[in-house]
Amino acid sequence: RLRFDQEGFSELKVFESTVIWYLIASTTLGVVLVSYFGGAISQWITKGIPFFPLGFLTIVGAGLSVFANLYERKLQAEQRPVAFSIYSGIRTLSTLLTIILFVVTFQWGVFGKISAEVLCTGILASVAFLIIRPSSPWESSTARLKEALDFGLPLVPHSLAITTNEMVGILVINSELGLENAGIYGVGLTIGAVSSVLTVGLNQAFSPIFVKAVRESEKAESRGDSQLASEIRSQVARSNLLMPALVGCFALAITTISKETIYFLTPEEFHLSWKVVAPISGAVIAISFYNSFNQSVFYNPKRIRWVAFVSIFTAAVNLGLCVFLVREFGLMGAAFSGLISNTIMALLIFCLGKSATDLTYRWTNWLGVIGLISMGLTIIWFLDASIEGVIPCLLAKVMTLTCFVYGVFNLAGVAPRHAFRFASNLSERI
């Protein structure tokens, strides 16, 4: 967001270099501190799982991922979709192949998976650093650092709360039902969370477009052209629906084949994990709505601090709700706890976004998309639970998927003529 406030290449270079050197120092300090206290922390957070080596490798991987992600953000802000796709594709493919090598060929299990992720992330972080080539740390700007921290520090509790929110289900199940059930839930979580990759990608791609479009509407408003400003904001509001609609359709597709995928790829003791995929997919879809509404909040830096309150409140709700529901309903309780808490977070951010950057939404379309996706996930779950035989069940689910995707696409305006018209209009405005 702050890149758009820098004027000229030299200012941008100073800003980037300042942020990079700060991240190097703070990440190194963070990894050292967490590694030192990790043994004590792991005793009550991850029962039965020692901190070394898995916890330590996870912390190192998280630190390295900061710099691998930083280059992705740079490509995103510069609107270089081809380079972004190539870099992201290489990252995903290399990590996947290395995991297969370490887990399947070397049979290193969980240690192999985490080691593969750390190795690939470390290589990509090094490559990203060489490509960005920051200036000398002595050329860093205190003013730029203060500007970045004023914007970013309020997001630290937000990020921690979001991370905690994602881990709550596994941690509570491990504590209440044991490691075996946590593993079963983890398989369903892995399948259901595949849609989050698309959620993140669309959010990153749309963010700079949103900033430029809203700025253009503000310029039109300042020139007295209220009609043009209103048209641009209407286009932005319509495009906001495209993200959750696309994620919802993708999540429906993943849920459609989840049971067959789990049966084919996992041992019998993990087969029941298909039951949690639908509510987990719903939780991911709720996050995609949250991301759409959050664009309005992030555009207005004065509202950033409220995001942390929303995230912390939601994480607390999820924790309390998850403990209660897991005790009552087992694995499904954890899945629905995530769905409910993410929905609450999306609603709160919507209210905050309306007061930060007002956009006019067509609520019949939004509610229609939400209703169709919810019905689709529910029907697919019941088809999996009630129809015997792989072929009849899969055919019924594919027919259901086709009908609901068609309905969602029509309500969201994803028809080719609408997409091309929107892209053309937006490029002309910006």
DSSP 144-162: HHHHHHHHHTTHHHHHHHH
**If pLDDT is split at 50, 70 and 90, which confidence band does 9 have?**
low
Question: Using alpha carbons only, what angle is made at residue 254 by residues 328 and 387, rounded to the nearest 5 degrees?
Answer: 70
Q: Return the pLDDT at 422.
A: 45
Write down the pLDDT at residue 8: 59
pLDDT tens, residue by residue, 209-227: 888 888 888 788 888 877 8
Cis omega (within 30 of 0) on the bond before 53? yes
CA dihedral 26, 32, 33, 35 (to 10 degrees): 140
Q: How far is C-alpha 355 from the geometric centre of its chain's CA atoms?
A: 24
For helices 179-192 and 155-176, give the axis angle rounded to 10 degrees. 130
Residue 257 is predicted with a pLDDT of 93
pLDDT at 338: 92
The span from the CA of 377 to the CA of 281, in Å, is: 8
Residue count of the chain: 430
Alpha helices in 223-276 (DSSP H): 226-265
Distance CA 278, CA 284 (A): 10
Name which of 103-117, 172-186, 381-395, 409-423 the model is least confident about: 409-423
Q: Is the pLDDT of residue 421 over 70?
A: no
Taking only the tens place, the pLDDT of each residue in 298-348 is 777 777 778 888 888 988 999 999 999 999 999 999 999 999 999 999 999
Compute the distance between CA of residue 374 and CA of residue 153 in angstroms, rounded to an integer: 36
Residue pLDDT, tens place only, 10-30: 777 777 788 888 888 989 998
The residue among 289, 251, 15, 283 whose CA lies nearest residue 152 is 15
- Return mean pLDDT, the chain: 83
| pLDDT-based confidence at residue 425 (cuts at 50, 70, 90) | very low
Please tell me the distance from the alpha carbon of residue 12 to that of residue 270, in angstroms, as a whole number. 50
Residues 41, 35: Cα–Cα separation, whole Å: 10
